[in-house]
Amino acid sequence: MRLPERFFKERKLEHLVENQTSYTLNNASMHVFETHLQAEKVLLQFDQPVLASMLIGKKVMHLRDKESFNFLPGESLILPSNEVMCIDFPEADVDNPTRCLAMAISDEKINNVINLMNEQMPKVDGSEWALMDYNYHFTNDASIYGIIQRLLYLFTENHPSKDFFVDNMLQELIIRILQGNERDNYAKNASKLSSNNRLAYVMDFISTHLHEQLSISDLSKKACMSESHFYKTFKEELGVTPIDFINSERIKMAINLLKDPDKKIKEIYLECGFENRSYFNRLFKRKIHVSPGQYQSKFKKD
């Protein structure tokens, strides 16, 4: 993820460990941290919920109720208010600094968005949208990556309306993060939740029938909904269409199968429920950025 040129012109490097450049607006503040020396057990805390995203380099994060983990470029982390981060920087140096952004978002802004979601996008099981009170670590999808990149630009821009621009982007970011968290929660616990939640039941059915032809018509019947209501509910609650979710799960399955260098690609895409190779190749390359054949070649023994 690239920082705008204005950032490098305006910043002042005063500390080699966690040098901080900050931008503050009405409902959020963005802080870019740069570390130019290896360090351990650096503590960081915010009094508002925070989105942290890695830009360059590697951190090792130590958080409550979670095993230590590597925090890498392309990944983000949602932290509740007053969460203490204990951070190691095993690879930082003067020529290759570690860079991370932390965006603190006001409780008022988050609550306004959540209230809007509960009014206009109610959950199928009757529960309410709420900000998670735990640390949510995830890989940015294309939409969240694009929003963060846009926010990096807006926070550093000298524009009289940037508070308005940022507010609109924050709303979309909050919605997409909550939908992504819901999707991950369902995917991890679908079988456990399926008896009491129609979307979890459908997701559990999808995961065990990826090799079959799956249609909106059949899935909506499983959810006991009309096709239009099922499609709308699925997209609003999980942030993706049913077909996009099915294809994503099939690609995940293909990634695992391709680790066997002796398995034929035709055998793999049919096993994953794809009808033809060109469609499979196109979706795989869009997500993994290499063809299935190139990916499989990494696992071939010399």
Query: What's the pLDDT at 302?
Result: 61
CATH code 2.60.120.280 region(s) in the chain: 5-180
Residue 19 amino acid letter = N
Q: What is the pTM (predicted TM-score) of this model? A: 0.85
Q: Give the confidence band of 258 by pLDDT, cuts at 50, 70, 90.
A: very high
The number of helices, as runs of H, and strands, as runs of E, in the chain is: 11, 10
Q: What is the pLDDT of residue 2?
A: 82
Chain centroid to CA 1: how far? 14
For the 194-302 domain, the top CATH level (class) is mainly alpha
Q: Which residue has the higher pLDDT, 194 or 24?
A: 24
126-143, pLDDT tens digit by residue?
Answer: 889 999 888 999 999 889
CB distance 61 to 75 below 8 Å: no
User: Which class is 5-180 in CATH?
Assistant: mainly beta
How much is the pLDDT for 122?
Answer: 92
CATH 1.10.10.60 placement within the chain: 194-302
pLDDT tens per residue across span 277-298: 999 999 999 888 899 999 999 8
pLDDT for 148-161, tens place per residue? Answer: 999 999 999 989 99
Which of 300 and 222 is assigned the larger pLDDT? 222
Alpha-carbon distances, residue 198 vs 126, 136, 221, 224, 226 (angstroms):
11, 24, 10, 8, 13
Average pLDDT (210-230) is: 94
Cα 167 to its chain centre, rounded Å, is 20
- What's the confidence (pLDDT) of residue 85? 94
Share of the chain above pLDDT 70, in %: 99
Mean pLDDT over the full length of the chain: 92
Instruction: Mean pLDDT check: name the lowest of 81-90, 150-159, 163-172, 188-197.
Output: 188-197
Judge whether residue 10 has pLDDT over 70.
yes
Portion of the chain with pLDDT greater than 90, in percent: 78
Q: How far is CA 124 from CA 129, 133, 224, 231, 234, in A?
A: 11, 21, 11, 12, 9
Q: Is the pLDDT of residue 17 over 80?
A: no
Question: 74-92 pLDDT, tens per residue?
Answer: 999 999 999 999 999 999 9
* pLDDT for residue 191 is more than 90: no
> Mean pLDDT, to the nearest integer, of 114-120?
96
Q: Which pLDDT score, from 0 to 100, does residue 12 have?
A: 77
